[in-house]
Amino acid sequence: MTTAAPAATAASTTNPAVGDPCTLLTDEDVSALVPGVHHQKLDTVAGTNKICEWPNERGIPVVQLQVTPADPAGPGAELKTSLGPAGYKIVDVKGIGDRAAAAVQEADPSKGLTAAVASLVVEAGGYDVRLSTPMVEIRPGSRKYAELEQMASLAVERLTH
Protein backbone atom coordinates (compact mmCIF):
# COMPACT_ATOMS: atom_id res chain seq x y z
CA MET A 1 0.00 0.00 0.00
CA THR A 2 1.41 3.38 -0.90
CA THR A 3 0.30 6.79 0.17
CA ALA A 4 1.15 10.34 -0.65
CA ALA A 5 4.26 11.68 1.02
CA PRO A 6 4.32 14.73 3.25
CA ALA A 7 5.03 17.99 1.46
CA ALA A 8 8.62 18.16 0.21
CA THR A 9 11.09 20.33 2.03
CA ALA A 10 14.57 21.56 1.18
CA ALA A 11 15.92 18.36 2.76
CA SER A 12 14.21 16.32 0.05
CA THR A 13 16.73 17.44 -2.56
CA THR A 14 19.88 16.89 -0.52
CA ASN A 15 19.93 13.09 -0.41
CA PRO A 16 19.87 11.08 -3.65
CA ALA A 17 18.08 8.19 -1.88
CA VAL A 18 14.91 10.31 -1.85
CA GLY A 19 14.94 10.20 -5.66
CA ASP A 20 16.02 6.56 -5.78
CA PRO A 21 15.33 4.56 -2.62
CA CYS A 22 16.59 1.45 -4.44
CA THR A 23 20.10 2.60 -3.50
CA LEU A 24 19.44 1.72 0.16
CA LEU A 25 18.83 -2.03 -0.08
CA THR A 26 20.12 -4.70 -2.42
CA ASP A 27 18.20 -7.65 -3.81
CA GLU A 28 20.30 -9.81 -1.48
CA ASP A 29 19.30 -7.71 1.56
CA VAL A 30 15.62 -8.13 0.74
CA SER A 31 15.75 -11.81 -0.21
CA ALA A 32 17.07 -12.56 3.29
CA LEU A 33 13.62 -11.48 4.57
CA VAL A 34 11.52 -12.67 1.64
CA PRO A 35 13.18 -15.45 -0.37
CA GLY A 36 12.28 -15.56 -4.04
CA VAL A 37 11.88 -11.83 -4.64
CA HIS A 38 12.90 -10.59 -8.05
CA HIS A 39 15.02 -7.62 -8.97
CA GLN A 40 14.03 -4.29 -7.55
CA LYS A 41 12.28 -1.70 -9.65
CA LEU A 42 11.80 2.00 -9.15
CA ASP A 43 8.27 3.32 -9.51
CA THR A 44 6.64 6.73 -9.10
CA VAL A 45 3.59 7.24 -6.93
CA ALA A 46 1.71 10.41 -6.01
CA GLY A 47 3.40 12.59 -8.61
CA THR A 48 7.14 12.63 -8.00
CA ASN A 49 7.28 10.38 -4.94
CA LYS A 50 9.56 7.40 -5.66
CA ILE A 51 9.14 3.91 -4.30
CA CYS A 52 11.38 0.88 -4.72
CA GLU A 53 9.57 -2.43 -5.09
CA TRP A 54 10.67 -6.05 -5.00
CA PRO A 55 8.06 -8.26 -6.69
CA ASN A 56 7.48 -11.97 -6.23
CA GLU A 57 7.52 -14.47 -9.11
CA ARG A 58 4.05 -13.29 -10.19
CA GLY A 59 5.18 -9.65 -10.40
CA ILE A 60 3.29 -8.56 -7.27
CA PRO A 61 5.28 -6.21 -4.99
CA VAL A 62 5.96 -7.95 -1.67
CA VAL A 63 8.48 -5.45 -0.28
CA GLN A 64 8.31 -1.70 -0.82
CA LEU A 65 10.78 0.99 0.30
CA GLN A 66 10.06 4.68 0.29
CA VAL A 67 12.06 7.69 1.55
CA THR A 68 10.39 11.04 2.21
CA PRO A 69 11.20 14.12 4.26
CA ALA A 70 10.39 13.40 7.91
CA ASP A 71 6.87 14.17 9.05
CA PRO A 72 7.16 16.69 11.93
CA ALA A 73 4.30 14.86 13.68
CA GLY A 74 6.42 11.71 13.87
CA PRO A 75 6.63 8.46 11.93
CA GLY A 76 3.34 7.15 13.28
CA ALA A 77 1.28 10.13 12.13
CA GLU A 78 1.01 9.11 8.47
CA LEU A 79 0.42 5.48 9.47
CA LYS A 80 -2.48 6.57 11.71
CA THR A 81 -4.00 8.49 8.80
CA SER A 82 -3.46 5.87 6.09
CA LEU A 83 -3.81 2.56 7.95
CA GLY A 84 -5.47 3.42 11.27
CA PRO A 85 -8.95 3.76 9.74
CA ALA A 86 -8.52 0.31 8.16
CA GLY A 87 -8.17 -1.25 11.61
CA TYR A 88 -4.39 -1.29 11.97
CA LYS A 89 -2.89 -0.62 15.39
CA ILE A 90 -0.01 1.89 15.31
CA VAL A 91 2.75 1.08 17.79
CA ASP A 92 5.98 2.85 18.68
CA VAL A 93 9.16 0.91 17.92
CA LYS A 94 12.23 1.45 20.07
CA GLY A 95 15.88 1.15 19.09
CA ILE A 96 15.75 2.13 15.41
CA GLY A 97 16.62 5.58 14.10
CA ASP A 98 15.47 8.71 15.92
CA ARG A 99 11.86 7.49 16.18
CA ALA A 100 9.96 4.61 14.62
CA ALA A 101 6.44 3.20 14.40
CA ALA A 102 4.80 0.13 12.91
CA ALA A 103 1.31 -0.53 11.59
CA VAL A 104 0.08 -3.90 12.85
CA GLN A 105 -2.96 -5.64 11.45
CA GLU A 106 -5.09 -6.76 14.36
CA ALA A 107 -5.89 -10.46 14.62
CA ASP A 108 -9.43 -11.40 13.68
CA PRO A 109 -9.92 -15.19 13.72
CA SER A 110 -13.44 -14.85 12.32
CA LYS A 111 -11.89 -13.43 9.12
CA GLY A 112 -8.84 -15.69 9.21
CA LEU A 113 -6.52 -12.80 10.07
CA THR A 114 -3.50 -13.06 12.34
CA ALA A 115 -1.64 -10.11 13.80
CA ALA A 116 0.94 -9.01 11.21
CA VAL A 117 3.12 -5.98 10.54
CA ALA A 118 2.08 -4.13 7.39
CA SER A 119 4.51 -1.23 7.47
CA LEU A 120 7.46 0.05 9.49
CA VAL A 121 8.45 3.73 9.36
CA VAL A 122 11.77 4.92 10.76
CA GLU A 123 12.70 8.58 11.13
CA ALA A 124 16.41 9.34 10.83
CA GLY A 125 18.48 12.27 9.63
CA GLY A 126 15.46 14.34 8.65
CA TYR A 127 13.86 11.57 6.58
CA ASP A 128 11.22 8.87 7.00
CA VAL A 129 12.19 5.45 5.68
CA ARG A 130 9.08 3.33 5.11
CA LEU A 131 9.28 -0.42 4.59
CA SER A 132 6.02 -2.10 3.66
CA THR A 133 5.51 -5.82 3.26
CA PRO A 134 2.15 -6.39 1.56
CA MET A 135 1.22 -10.06 1.30
CA VAL A 136 4.03 -11.14 3.64
CA GLU A 137 3.03 -12.37 7.09
CA ILE A 138 5.41 -10.83 9.61
CA ARG A 139 4.14 -11.31 13.14
CA PRO A 140 5.18 -8.88 15.88
CA GLY A 141 7.96 -10.36 18.01
CA SER A 142 8.84 -13.05 15.45
CA ARG A 143 12.20 -13.82 13.86
CA LYS A 144 10.87 -12.27 10.61
CA TYR A 145 9.98 -9.11 12.52
CA ALA A 146 13.54 -8.88 13.88
CA GLU A 147 14.79 -9.30 10.30
CA LEU A 148 12.46 -6.50 9.14
CA GLU A 149 13.88 -4.22 11.84
CA GLN A 150 17.43 -5.16 10.79
CA MET A 151 16.61 -4.39 7.16
CA ALA A 152 15.16 -1.02 8.18
CA SER A 153 18.28 -0.27 10.24
CA LEU A 154 20.47 -1.11 7.26
CA ALA A 155 18.49 1.23 5.00
CA VAL A 156 18.71 3.99 7.61
CA GLU A 157 22.46 3.48 8.01
CA ARG A 158 23.00 3.75 4.26
CA LEU A 159 20.76 6.82 4.08
CA THR A 160 22.50 8.72 6.86
CA HIS A 161 26.13 7.85 6.07
Contact 151, 131 (CB under 8 A): yes
The DSSP 8-state label assigned to residue 113 in this structure reads: B
Sketch the domain layout of the chain as residue ranges.
16-160
pLDDT band at 46 (very low <50, low <70, confident <90, very high): low
Q: What pLDDT is recorded for position 14?
A: 60
Q: What pLDDT is recorded for position 34?
A: 92
Q: Is the dihedral of CA 105, 51, 39, 55 positive or negative?
A: positive
Q: Which of 26, 77, 86, 91 is nearest to 52 (CA)?
A: 26
List of residues 6+ apart from 123 with CB closer than 8 A: 70, 71, 74, 75, 97, 98, 99, 100, 129
CA pair distance 116, 32, nearest whole angstrom: 18
Segment 9-25 mean pLDDT = 69
Higher pLDDT, 16 or 52: 52
- pLDDT higher than threshold 80 for residue 9: no
Residue-wise pLDDT tens digits, 62-105? 999 999 889 999 999 989 998 989 889 999 999 999 999 999 99
Neighbours of 14 (CB within 10 A): 12
Q: What pLDDT is recorded for position 19?
A: 75
Residue-wise pLDDT tens digits, 102-153? 999 988 888 888 889 999 999 999 999 999 998 888 999 999 999 999 999 9
pLDDT band at 49 (very low <50, low <70, confident <90, very high): confident
Segment 18-26 mean pLDDT = 88
pLDDT band at 16 (very low <50, low <70, confident <90, very high): low
pLDDT band at 3 (very low <50, low <70, confident <90, very high): very low
- pLDDT higher than threshold 80 for residue 12: no
Exposed (0-12), middle (13-18) or buried (19+): which is 50, by Cβ within 10 Å? Answer: buried
